[in-house]
Amino acid sequence: MSQPTSSQRFWTKAVDRLASLTISTGGLLMIGSLVLIFLLIVSEAIPLFIAPKTASHGKLATPPKALVASADEYRDDVSFLMPDGLLRVVALADGRTVKDLAVPGMEGRTVTAAVRSIKGDMALGLSDGSAIVAMPKWQSSFEGGVRKVDFDVKALPRLALDPAGRALTRIAFAEKESGASTVVASPAPDALFFGIASCEPGDVITKDLSAVLGKETVTALAFLDNGNSLCVGTASGKILSIPVEDSRVPGATETTAVNTDGTPITVLETLVGGQTLVAGDARGRVTGLLRVRDNAEAEARKLLPVKTFDGHSAAITAVGASGRGKTFVSADEKGNLVVHFGTNARTLARASVDGSVSALDVSPKANSFLAMTTKGLTDFTLDAPHPEISFAALFGKQLYEGYDSPEYVWQSSGATDDFESKLSLVPLIFGTLKGTFYAMLFAVPIGLAAALYTSVFATPKVKRFVKPIVEIMAALPSVVLGFLAGLWLAPLIQKATVSTLLLVPSVPLFVLAGVFLFQLLPFETRQHVRPGHELFLVLPLALLGALFAWFAGPFLEHVLFGGDFKAWLLTSSGLKYDARNSLVIAFAMGFAVIPIIFTISEDALSSVPEHLKAASLALGASPWQTAIRVILPTASAGIFSALMVGFGRAVGETMIVLMATGNTPILDWNIFNGMRTLAANIAVEIPEAPQGGTLYRVLFLAALLLFVVTFLVNTLAEALRQRLRKKYTVI
């Protein structure tokens, strides 16, 4: 054979170096891509945990005796309510008076009490015992690319409350969907009057509620339950809850002890949605109250103090809430301000002003707020884009509005702006583990048994037939499997649930019974089944077991469950059967995982050195004993890798879970219920998530969790694989 020429050696080395460089570059690009993906996910998730901050944006002199301040959404102008009923609009930038408007219906009366709702309307208590509901409105327009803000005010007809004509000192109101407003006012600590203000004369109602106070004295007023319940804070630290819905005025009064030490309630405010009541007291404590059942058997919900917010060192003088979220600000007589979030009781930021705060105005988007004192009006900016996010909100139980106890809940959107986001990742993590568990429970025994048979017992001809068929299963797209599972398999299982459950014991029993009976046959008969062709005996037995389950299922359902297994399940154990459930996922996702477990396990089992098998057989071990005690332990590293890869495939599965379950994020191991996994949740929610919003970033956090879990599982698997490989290394 002739030696290669120098030119041939040169080109051989060049091609070799080029191949090495290409392979190395591809590997580095793959690693770099993974690092970049990880950094992208982290960069989108990190802003969730950046601490909120607030800063003073400017200060404005307050007009003398101003009662209430309210700014437009763009924070260009602010309106002040004066005692004579005049609304003075002032530019925040330079204090210039832009406009003066008189509230209709004043007619020489003076304002002695005023309150502003989170929607921007105001209730004015007047010096003659009457009240006016005023509806200021900011209107923005653009002319030549420049924003122009206009201000107007309308009012409902004046409502006469106190027949004695005493000046009202405290007032509260709530807007009704009909356009009317429910108003309550107090001219003295022992007097209370209720009314409904409306443009329709027939809808006007006034009543004296002083009798319901008993010996309590009024210190604060607010409405709850969208104006259907009146809450009265008292000097003894209690809240009287009085139903004022429809004609039941007053209804049965409910008393809630907020402060057991008798500290007076100084401020009451309702958060957006009308379900959460915030109470501030004379010692600076801030408490959140919700209607909850104090026990599971109770029929009615009670107003109870269930949330404690960071307090103050002095008496609370004002609470202002956002009109589009659960962010609110509390202030005390020393000028200290604390920004809270109502759902998770999180403290977002702190600030202070000079003097006692008499009024607060929080912007609808909660990105700024105004604090008014006798010494001036301070405008604060608030940078808290994700106030609802905290470790407790993501991974702990939270007490939400309408719930009776803290729970793990995922519900990212609602029908109105009053919706309270529920972004606990626990149900999604649980759903991921639940789906993976049931899929692996189905796939692992079948995949390992098939791999063991194919590599150890099957003849080469059978192996050449079986292995490609199983590996082709891995090429089936997930969307096809999900489509079949959701539209064909789920209705089939729903129709034949008992038959499906009967498959689990019947198929193995028929196979074992058939094999046992086969062993009892004469040796001459058994010789007709060649070693390695047992598959052709087992398959008919498995099919026979499946047929038995299919036909015996309806009979057993009729005999044992009264003809309806699903109804029996609900009445006997309270478990509800969902058409698309974990049982469907076990079959569909297990079908997708089987080829992965089979292929890797079969390769590992086939790689066991032949001399080990021969030595075991030579020492008298049977083929089955050799497989269990020699081949399986030796190939354990590869088998473990197969299980981990299958686990990772199941954890990250999206389309099958998305199409074959109800996507209900619940915490329940019941196999007849569905689930929602992290991967499926990302696919469902990401099209509707505004870029940069809280939901958008939480979905990236979910992706980060999947990334980290997969990385940790693979790292642990590799470490254990290396350990097993070292233990069973054959020299």
Q: 359: how many CB neighbours lie within 10 A of its CB?
A: 24
pLDDT band at 371 (very low <50, low <70, confident <90, very high): very high
Q: What confidence score (pLDDT) does residue 727 get?
A: 67
Instruction: Judge contact between 338 and 319, C-beta under 8 A.
Output: no
Q: What confidence score (pLDDT) does residue 231 get?
A: 93
pLDDT band at 339 (very low <50, low <70, confident <90, very high): very high
Q: Percent of the chain at pLDDT above 90?
A: 35
Per-residue pLDDT tens over the stretch 519-539: 777 777 766 667 666 667 778
* Range in 292-301, 481-490, 629-638 with the lowest mean pLDDT: 292-301
What are the angstrom distances between the C-alpha of 207 and each of 130, 247, 545?
Answer: 13, 11, 77
**Does position 417 have pLDDT exceeding 80, yes or no?**
no
Whether the link from the prior residue into 250 is cis, omega within 30° of 0, is yes
Per-residue pLDDT tens over the stretch 663-700: 888 888 888 888 899 999 998 898 888 888 899 999 99
User: Identity (one letter) of the amino acid at 512?
Assistant: L
Interatomic CA distance for residues 338 and 356, integer angstroms: 14
**Does position 463 have pLDDT exceeding 90, yes or no?**
no
Average pLDDT, the chain: 87
Taken in order 581, 586, 587, 591, the sign of the CA dihedral is: positive
Q: What confidence score (pLDDT) does residue 731 get?
A: 42
**Does position 8 have pLDDT exceeding 50, yes or no?**
yes
Instruction: Judge contact between 640 and 660, C-beta under 8 A.
Output: no
Per-residue pLDDT tens over the stretch 206-258: 888 998 888 899 999 999 988 889 999 999 999 999 888 765 667 678 888 99
**Does position 629 have pLDDT exceeding 60, yes or no?**
yes
Place of tokens 């129709």: 495
User: Helix, strand, or coil here: 212?
Assistant: helix
* Range in 27-41, 84-98, 406-420 with the lowest mean pLDDT: 406-420
Mean pLDDT of 584-604: 90
pTM: 0.87
* Range in 34-38, 626-630, 714-718 with the lowest mean pLDDT: 714-718
Interatomic CA distance for residues 92 and 9, integer angstroms: 82
Per-residue pLDDT tens over the stretch 304-324: 999 999 999 999 999 999 988
Q: What confidence score (pLDDT) does residue 503 get?
A: 87
User: Identity (one letter) of the amino acid at 483?
Assistant: F
